[in-house]
Homo-oligomer: A and B are copies of this chain.
């Protein structure tokens, strides 16, 4: 008979034993990222934030594409992601912090989607996300599902920034790297919830190279027939106005998702 060991980490199917503990670390050793941010409409963005999240002083949407290679927990394989994050303040009874609330994160590999959703509460869903292309100095990335495009993003006019220029993006680069989600698990019949709570998950990044440039995003508008499980998400994002782009960023480096001494936790 199978019995759960309370000192182990499990995911479904749990009865074959705990999640693999062979990964040498939580590091992603080879990560190329494109970061495109824009100011949007505070009212419209606020419609997607559950209490006690509030839109930050500056209503910014930050989209991060990452091409992750040499991922330790995947035995050195990799995957790509595109995350869409809102600048927020979490204004809880106990916790009060600024950071990014992940509105949605597309990934092209199921394994990190399952872990991210069921453990950390990150709203990850699947998309085809090919490796970014680089031609004529322009970085491009895109996502699609059911063969229907979701979005594409590009960064042009790249240059190595001065410290003063970097400061224009201190919202992304400094200090406020609190990443937050909302973990939600429905009852077996689909109605009501067994789990519904905000979460905080850490990330640690080391940069080997960083350039700044001019970003651009194009969101599609979709029908149910084109993308039956995600069209409402894409359409909601497409309707958030792009008031003004902030300087975009391209980075090479490495990322750690298992920061020592900083466990993922529920927010109160």
Interface residues of A (CB under 8 A from B): 1-4, 6-17, 19-20, 22-24, 29-30, 46-51, 69-70, 72-78, 103-104, 109-111, 113-114, 117-126, 128, 130-131, 133-136, 138, 140, 142, 144, 146-149, 181-196, 199, 201, 224-226, 228-229, 231-233, 236, 263-266
With A13-B233, A15-B182, A232-B16 as known contacts, state yes or no: A133 contacts B6, CB within 8 Å.
no
With A12-B182, A16-B232, A194-B195 as known contacts, state yes or no: A188 contacts B120, CB within 8 Å.
yes
A135 touches B76 (CB 8 A): yes
Q: State how many angstroms separate the Cβ of A44 from the closest Cβ of chain B.
A: 12
A109 — nearest CB in chain B belongs to which residue? Answer: B126
B134 touches A17 (CB 8 A): no
The answer, among B16, B123, B191, for a CB contact under 8 Å with A12, is B123
Q: Please indicate the chain B residues that have their CB under 8 angstroms from the CB of A147 in the complex.
A: 128, 130, 142, 144, 149
Q: Please indicate the chain B residues that have their CB under 8 angstroms from the CB of A187 in the complex.
A: 119
With A15-B182, A118-B117, A195-B194 as known contacts, state yes or no: A264 contacts B133, CB within 8 Å.
no
B131 touches A15 (CB 8 A): no
With A70-B134, A118-B185, A146-B75 as known contacts, state yes or no: A16 contacts B140, CB within 8 Å.
no
Q: Please indicate the chain B residues that have their CB under 8 angstroms from the CB of A233 in the complex.
A: 13, 16
Q: State how many angstroms separate the Cβ of A179 from the closest Cβ of chain B.
A: 12
Q: How distant is the Cα of A208 from the Cα of B12 in the complex, in angstroms?
A: 34
A184 touches B12 (CB 8 A): yes
11 sampled A-B residue pairs with Cβ under 8 A: A3-B50, A9-B191, A12-B117, A12-B123, A14-B182, A17-B232, A23-B228, A75-B224, A76-B136, A183-B188, A188-B264
A76 touches B134 (CB 8 A): yes
A225 touches B75 (CB 8 A): yes
The answer, among B49, B73, B78, B140, for a CB contact under 8 Å with A131, is B78
B191 touches A6 (CB 8 A): yes
B133 touches A22 (CB 8 A): no
Q: Please indicate the chain B residues that have their CB under 8 angstroms from the CB of A109 in the complex.
A: 126
With A49-B1, A110-B126 as known contacts, state yes or no: A69 contacts B186, CB within 8 Å.
no
The answer, among B75, B122, B190, for a CB contact under 8 Å with A228, is B75
Q: How distant is the Cα of A233 from the Cα of B119 in the complex, in angstroms?
A: 20
